[in-house]
Amino acid sequence: MKMHNFSAGPSILPPEVLQKASEAVLNFNNSGLSLIEISHRDPSFVEIMNSARDLALELLNLQGKGYSALFLQGGASLEFVRVANNLLKVNGKAGYINTGTWANNAQNEASFLGNVVEIASSKDKNYTYIPKDIIIPNDLDYLHITSNNTIYGTQFKDFPETNVPLACDMSSDIFSRNLDFLKFDLIYACAQKNAGTSGVNLIVVKNELLDKTNRSIPNIMNYKKHIERESMYNTPSVFSVYVSYLTMKWLKDLGGIAAAERRNNAKANLMYSEIDRNSLFYGTAAVEDRSVMNATFFLKDESMTTAFDELCLQEGIYGLKGHRTAGGYRASMYNALPMTSVQKLVKVMQGFEADLL
Ligand SMILES: Cc1ncc(COP(=O)(O)O)c(C=O)c1O
C-alpha cells in the first residue's frame, strides 16, 4: 500500500516521476548505462540540464524576459550565502523580512557579508502571522522575503510593493500558485518540496541584476559564472537535476502552475475546514496568512498525542509530525499530494473525534 505522505521535505513525488527516475538509474534512455554513471558532459545529460532550465522559466512564464535559470548544489541554505554574495554591495545594505526560522537563517547568513537590516518580523508572536503594511526603505541593495514559512505554516498572499530588487526564497511554494513572477528579481528554491528531490536548488535570476557589486565573489558563489557555464561550472547533481526535470514535466502535462493551484486550494480548503471544525484540534497560524502548502495544527489535549500518532500510522499516514522546533502537527500538501490523501487524513481526524466523544 502506498502511504499518504505529508512529509515537509524531502516529500512526495508523482508516481510517474518515481517510475521514470528509477528506470533511468537502471538503464538511461535504453543506453545500457545508468544515468548516474555517465559523464555530466554526455550530450544526453546536457540536454536534460538545458531542458530543465528552459522548463523552469517556461513554467514561471519568464522565458525570453531577461532571466536565467540554474540548478546548483548546497541546499537553500547555501543560497542564503550566494544571494548575499551576488547582491549585497561592499558598504551596501540588505533588508530582510523575518517570518520564520528559514527567513531568520537567511538573514543571519547574509550578515556575515555586510550590513543587514530587519525590515519587519513576526517573531513577537512565534511567527504565526505575516507582517502587513511594511515600509521598505529605498536605499536597499535588495529586499529578501521567504514566501512560505514551512515550519509555522504561514504564507505571503501579497508581496510588498518596492522599487528595490526583490529576492525570494520560494523553497516550499514554488510552482504551487500563479504569481506575477516578473515582480521578483531573484527566486530560489531547494528542490525537495515542489521541484524534485534534495541535492539541487533552482535559482531564477534577472541577468541585469548581476555584476553590480564591487565585491570579489568566489566562482562557486558567483551566479554569473554559473550562467556562463550553463549550470555546469562543476559537476552537477545529475540525478537530482533529472528528478527536477521529470517533476516539472509532470507539472506541465498537468496543466502548469494554474492547474496545480486549483488542486492545492481545494486540498487546503478541505484541510483547514477540518482543523476548524474538529473539537480536538486547533490551528495557530493567522487565518488570512495560512499556508496552502503546510497546514500546522495542534491537539487541544496533548495527552492524546500517542493515540493519534498510532492511529495515523495504522491508517497509512506518514510525515504529519510538526517540525521539531514547533511541535504539533503539520500536513504538507505539495503539488504531488493527491486530494485523496487529504480526504483520508480528514476522515481519520473525524474518526478520532467520534471515538473519543
Ligand atoms: C523555506 C525554506 N527555506 C530554506 C530551507 C532550507 O533548505 P535546505 O535544507 O535545502 O538548506 C527550507 C527547508 O525546509 C525551507 O523550507
Q: For 73-85, what is each residue's pLDDT tens digit?
A: 999 999 999 999 9
Residues of the chain scoring pLDDT < 50: 1
State the Cα–Cα distance between residues 160 and 79, nearest whole angstrom.
22
pLDDT value for 356: 86
Strand 154-155 versus strand 166-169 pairing type: unpaired
pLDDT score of 171: 98
Contact 146 CB / ligand 1 (< 6 Å): yes
Q: State whether the beta carbon of 171 lies less than 6 angstroms from ligand 1.
A: yes
Atom of ligand 1 nearest to the CA of 77: 11
Question: 102 alpha carbon to ligand 1 midpoint, in Å?
Answer: 6
CA of 121 to the centre of ligand 1 (A): 18
Contacting residues for 113 by C-beta, under 8 A, at least 6 apart: 81, 84, 85, 88, 215
From 141, 193, 206, 267, the catalytic residue: 193
Does residue 347 have an active-site annotation?
A: no
Cα 130 to Cα 146, 162, 165, 189: the distances in Å are 10, 17, 20, 20
Q: For this structure, is 250 an active site residue?
A: no
Q: Is 77 in the pocket of ligand 1 (CB under 6 A)?
A: yes
Q: What is the pLDDT of residue 262?
A: 98
| Shortest-distance atom of ligand 1 to CA 170 | 1
Question: Diameter of the chain by CA atoms?
Answer: 66
Give the integer Cα–Cα distance in Å for 90 and 110.
12
Check pocket membership of 190 for ligand 1, CB cut-off 6 A: yes
**Strand-pair partners of 93:** 115
Q: What's the confidence (pLDDT) of residue 2?
A: 84
Can the peptide bond before residue 43 be classed as cis, meaning omega within 30 degrees of 0? no
| Predicted local confidence at residue 250, as pLDDT | 98
Residue 330, SS3 per DSSP:
strand
Cβ atoms 125, 100 nearer than 8 A = no
pLDDT at 156 (0 to 100): 98
Q: What is the dihedral of CA 42, 47, 48, 49, to 10 degrees?
A: 90
The backbone torsions φ and ψ at residue 311, rounded to the nearest 5 degrees and listed phi first, read -60, -45
| Angstrom distance (rounded) from CA 107 to CA 111 | 6
Nearest to 82 by CA among 183, 165, 184, 167: 167
* Spatial distance between the Cα atoms of 18 and 11, rounded to a whole number of angstroms: 12
pLDDT of residue 57: 98
Measure the CA–CA gap between 269 and 246, rounded to whole angstroms.
28
Strand runs labelled E in 4-131: 4-5, 67-72, 93-98, 115-121
The Cα–Cα gap between 148 and 188 comes to 12
Half-sphere exposure in the Cβ direction for 94 (13 Å, CA): 31
CA of 279 to the centre of ligand 1 (A): 32
- CA 149 vs CA 16, 252, 320: distances in Å: 28, 25, 16
Q: Smallest Cα–Cα separation from 200: which of 42, 43, 28, 52?
A: 52
Q: Report the separation in Å between the CA atom of 352 and the middle of ligand 1, taken as the mean of its atom positions.
A: 32
The alpha carbon of 169 and the centre of ligand 1 are apart by a number of angstroms equal to 9
Q: 467520534: which residue's cell? A: 354
Active site residue 193: yes
Quick one: pLDDT at residue 111? 98
What residue's CA is closest to ligand 1, atom 7? 76
Spatial distance between the Cα atoms of 130 and 115, rounded to a whole number of angstroms: 24
Strand ranges for 207-311 from DSSP E: 281-282, 294-299
Mean pLDDT, the chain, whole residue set = 97
